[in-house]
Amino acid sequence: MKEMNANSNLERQGKPALKKTEKRIALKKSIKKNKWIYLMILPGILYFFIYKYVPMFGLIISFQDYKPYEGIMGSEWVGLEHFKRLFSDPDFWMIFKNTLILFALQIIIFFPIPIILSLMLNEVRQMYLKRSVQTLIYIPHFMSWVIIVSISYVLLTMDNGIVNGTLEAMGRQEVNFLLNPDWFRPMYVLQVIWREAGWGTIIFLAAISAVDVQLYEAARMDGANRFRQMWHITLPAIKGVIIILLILKIGDVLELGFEHVYLLLNASNREVAEIFDTYVYTAGLKQGQFSYSTAVGFFKGLVGLVLVIGANWLAKKAGEEGVY
Q: In whole angstroms, what is the distance from residue 232 CA to residue 212 CA? A: 13
Listed residue (69, 91, 89, 73) closest to 81, CA to CA? 89
Q: In whole angstroms, what is the distance from residue 215 CA to residue 204 CA? A: 18
Domain coordinates in residue numbering, the chain: 80-317
- Other Cβ atoms within 10 Å of 299 Cβ, number: 19
CATH 1.20.190.20 for domain 80-317, yes or no, is no
User: Which residues neighbour 75 within 8 Å (Cβ) at sequence distance 6 or greater?
Assistant: 61, 64, 65, 66, 67, 291
Helix, strand, coil percentages for the chain (3-state, nearest 5): 75, 0, 20
Q: In whole angstroms, what is the distance from residue 25 CA to residue 184 CA? A: 60
Distance (Å) of CA 135 to CA 113, 141, 165, 225: 17, 11, 30, 28
pLDDT in tens, the chain (324 residues): 445 454 555 455 555 655 677 778 887 888 888 888 888 989 989 998 998 888 888 888 889 888 888 888 888 888 888 888 888 888 888 998 999 999 999 999 999 999 999 988 888 888 888 888 888 888 999 999 999 999 999 898 888 788 888 888 888 888 888 888 999 999 999 999 999 998 888 889 888 888 888 888 888 888 888 888 888 888 888 888 888 888 888 877 777 878 899 999 988 888 999 988 888 888 877 777 888 888 888 888 888 888 888 888 887 777 777 666
Polymer length of the chain: 324
**Which pLDDT belongs to residue 8?**
52
3-state secondary structure of 76: strand
**Which pLDDT belongs to residue 15?**
55
Specify which residues 76 forms β-bridges with.
65
* Main-chain dihedrals φ then ψ at residue 156, nearest 5 degrees: -105, -10
- Other Cβ atoms within 10 Å of 102 Cβ, number: 23
Q: In whole angstroms, what is the distance from residue 216 CA to residue 297 CA? A: 48
Q: In whole angstroms, what is the distance from residue 317 CA to residue 220 CA? A: 34
Distance (Å) of CA 250 to CA 17, 141, 200: 44, 21, 16
The answer to whether 274 and 265 have CB atoms below 8 angstroms apart is yes
- Other Cβ atoms within 10 Å of 320 Cβ, number: 15
3-state secondary structure of 211: coil
Q: In whole angstroms, what is the distance from residue 181 CA to residue 152 CA? A: 16
Distance (Å) of CA 274 to CA 94, 142, 219, 257, 261: 8, 26, 50, 12, 8
Cα-trace Rg, the chain: 27
Tell me how far apart the 2 most distant CA atoms of the chain are, in Å: 107
The answer to whether 201 and 121 have CB atoms below 8 angstroms apart is yes
The answer to whether 205 and 274 have CB atoms below 8 angstroms apart is no
